[in-house]
Structures are given as structure tokens and as C-alpha cells.
Amino acid sequence: MSTSFIYTQLTNRPRVELSPLFVYDGLLNKAIANVASIHIRAVLYLLNDDLDSAIRTAKMGDSDDNLLLYTIGIALRRKLDMESMQVFKRLSIMRYPLLEKVYSKVTFDKVIQKVFDLEAVDNARARKVVEEIQLNELKLLYECAQSQSQAQTQIQP
């Protein structure tokens, strides 16, 4: 199963929940586990709502890798872990370009707070807006993971 097929399956579903309780498609996880690129594998786990596998995979990489750090931050936010705020602050201080691209109209701390607020008191319209921001963020993260994977492939002898 190709990574593009997996990606399409995961991004064309009705919605990507803000804080999922279950893995979306356990069968896809078997295919995701075989993806060679650690970046793409971690992001696909995120898209499949397997937050623990996304974190575990991202932590296998270089600790200075901002793309993997961002992946961990999103997984923590989706797990409703306030540590996500620290990850996003670190990326903000470093002026990580993807963070600035995703959060050009609304700040990351407002989105994180809204995710937590929506778990306490649901607002369908607000949830839809935040889910759209998150899906866009995940798609951009996947594009960056692909670019980084291709760059690393070209560098290897």
C-alpha cells in the first residue's frame, strides 16, 4: 500500500477529530508501520489518530528535528496534554516556518485553548473551524515530511 494511498484514505474521511479516543483504522496502521521515512510514518500515525505511535515514532528521530518536534506537539495537543503548549512555544521562539504558516491568522495558544474548551463545552460551529485548522495543519505537515524525506534520500549515497 503506497503512502499516497494511505494519506488519501486518511484525509478524505468525514472529519479528523480534535481529540480522538480510538485509532481511526487499525488495518492502515499495519501499512503505516512499514513506511521507511520516520517523518512520513509519524505524520500518517497522527492522521490515523494513533497518537501514541506518532509520538513513539517521532522520538526515534533526531531530537533537534523540528518537524518531529511539531509532530509530537500536535499529538500531545490531541491527547489534551498541556505539555503541547511548551512544544509550540519552543517552535515559536525558533520561528519555525511551518508554525508561522499554519498560525498566520490565529495564534497556536488560542487554538490549543479552544481544543481544551471544546472538550468541556461543545460548540459545533467552533469545533468545525478548529477541525479545519487542524486538518490543514496535518496536510501541511505531511507535505513537509515528504519534502524532508526526499531531501534525505538524495543525500544518502
| Residue 3 pLDDT grade (very low, low, confident, very high; cuts 50, 70, 90) | very high
Predicted pLDDT at 77 = 94
Give per-residue pLDDT as tens, 107-130. 888 888 888 888 888 888 988 989
Integer angstrom CA distances of residue 16 from 19, 117, 126, 148: 9, 17, 14, 24
Q: Does the reported pTM lie above 0.85?
A: yes
* Residue boundaries of the structural domains of the chain: 3-155
CB-based burial of residue 95 (10 Å sphere; 0-12 exposed, 13-18 middle, 19+ buried)?
A: exposed
Per-residue model confidence as pLDDT tens digits over 38-59: 999 999 999 999 999 999 999 9
Tell me how many helices (H) and strands (E) the chain has.
9, 0
Measured distance CA(131)–CA(8) in Å, rounded:
17
